[in-house]
Amino acid sequence: MTSQKVMPLELGVILVSLVMTALAGNFYQDFEVLWGGYRAKMLENGNLCTLSLDPASGSGFQSKNQFLFGKIDMQLKLVPGNSAGTVTTYYLSSVGSTHDEIDFEFLGNTTGQPYVLHTNIYAQGQGNREQQFYLWFDPTRDFHTYSIFWNPESIVFSVDGTPIREFKNLESKGIPYPKNQPMWLYASLWDAEDWATQGGRVKTDWSQAPFVASFRNFNAQACVVASGTNSCNSRSSSNAWMYQSLDSSGQAKIKWVQKNYMIYNYCTDYKRFPQGVPRECSLV
């Protein structure tokens, strides 16, 4: 993701620790508009946020808190109709040249053609870990839940509770893993007609603007960067997720999704990586 960012929190001038926090669902309390001005609207007493895109600009918001590990859910309803050229995003990211990032991106398409769900992970500034999927439903007709599960052992992407991808901590094998940089949660809607739809062959139809995507039911059971004690280090029932991993049922669901709905996997793109695919591909 290369959309607009904010300046990093100066972690060196404050005592930083992790405090377990449960956040649920009010955009006025939990988020602020990052760019796009009036195109980002918080509605229904803060229970709904819409982002719009027109020829002049897109829009985006970011969380008021930074997270270091968490279970984060958001419900999205994507741009309907001819959404070609548009990208709706929902992702965690730190900032800087060695930033970490965990991405959901939704690549629009022409009317009647499926959205592409694009996932990626950056660790210490290095990405190139894309996996792409079709969805097994129309993501424009209703809200669906997209979840990021991130703890010291693994990152799991899920859709409506079904895991679709896992990235394991393989630091012992020399593979970087996001674990030290607190990340903000971002969402945006922007124009990427040069690459988003069929490799950029299909452009944005601005006669359909404004394009609108909707967000609701944000929920985070997460470690928030704040001064105080590190409650996430204790094995209490409230943060048991810090020590969880996918069971055999979850692994089977990932295999089912990847067999039936995956359309791109960087681990099998030998043309892109003629000297060999990234090392983690052979270690999982």
**Active site residues per annotation:** 101, 105
DSSP 253: H
Reference 160, options 245, 75, 92, 70; nearest CA is 75
Write the DSSP assignment of 22-77 as a string of letters: EEES-HHHHEEEEESGGGEEEEGGGTEEEEEE-SS--EEEEEEEEEEEEEEEEEEE
Please list the residues that pair with 112 across neighbouring strands. Answer: none
Q: Which residues contact 141 (CB under 8 A, 6 or more apart)?
A: 77, 80
Strands, E assignment, the chain:
17-24, 31-35, 40-43, 48-53, 59-77, 86-93, 101-107, 116-122, 131-133, 144-150, 154-159, 162-168, 183-191, 211-226, 262-265
Q: Are 151 and 138 in contact (CB under 8 A)?
A: no
